[in-house]
Amino acid sequence: MIKLWKSITIPSYFWMILGTLALTGLWRLMSLIYSPIFVPSPGETLTAVVGLLSSPEAVADIANTFYRVLLALILLTVTGIAIGMLAGFNPWLEQIIKPARDILIAIPPVAMTLLVIFLFGGGTVQTVATAVALGFPLLYGGTVTAMRSVDRDLMEMFGAFKASKAVQFWEGFLPAVIYSVLPIVLLAAGLTVRLIIMAEIIVGMNTGIGNALSIARVHLATEEIFAWLLIMAAAVLIIEGGLLYLVKRNLLKWQAGR
């Protein structure tokens, strides 16, 4: 019997499905214990998801949030990598940036969002800026570390062949840093979704998933709140998974043989 059990190869996704089913079962149990006002059942939530996805207003909210996430992610990636590379080349700049970076890491996201509203008011720019400021230390720190771990042997090779500074940068430094930072960009993508929605709620945007969540909360539409949470989780998974697919397919072909 033990031998038979050991000979069965269980695919890894089996355990993932099992985990999902267990979570759904727990959710269903909670919905039986608590009133539907507090915990709607998985079925009710799924119906609410379908309802939301077939409503043009909800789709517009998703599109607005997605637009802000994309904008924040692009700005975050470009500024984080660019400033991180500059700091990697200039240790004095790294020291200048360090206090600001430490403060950004220490400040709770909610407090930062409140500070931005207090100083600059609410709006898309402020929402995106908050997410960029909060995600910046992650990308910046990753880039500085990547700069330190650039293969010195490869750099020596460039020097031995008298390659120009431009060739060294475009062919050596930049790809080395980008390939090291890619996993952090993927991590930042999920983080940006969460930060944007949080900022939308606190800033009080009148569009976006954050706004829809706020309205659902005011109306005590718990199944809608749960539905938005499910949509949020799906959005994070889709964005992370989609980016991972694109990155592997287009940028990491060279790792295929490893």
For other proteins, give the closer residue by CB, 160 or 218. 160
By beta-carbon proximity to other proteins, the closer residue of 164 and 206 is 164
Nearer to other proteins by Cβ, of 70 and 244: the residue is 244
- With CA atoms as reference, report the closest residue to 193 among 232, 245, 247: 232
Q: End-to-end CA distance of the chain, in Å?
A: 38
Residues near other proteins (CB under 8 A):
153-154, 156-157, 159-164, 167, 171-172, 175, 179, 253-258
Looking at beta carbons only, is 43 or 159 nearer to other proteins?
A: 159
**In the complex, minimum distance from the CB of residue 23 to other proteins, in angstroms, rounded to a whole number:** 39
For the CB of residue 3, give the shortest distance to other proteins in the complex, in Å: 39
The least distance separating other proteins from the CB of residue 36, rounded to whole angstroms, comes to 54
CB of 239 to other proteins, least distance (A): 24
- Residue 114 or 252: the one with the smaller Cβ distance to other proteins is 252
Q: How far is the CB of 85 from other proteins (least distance, A)?
A: 17
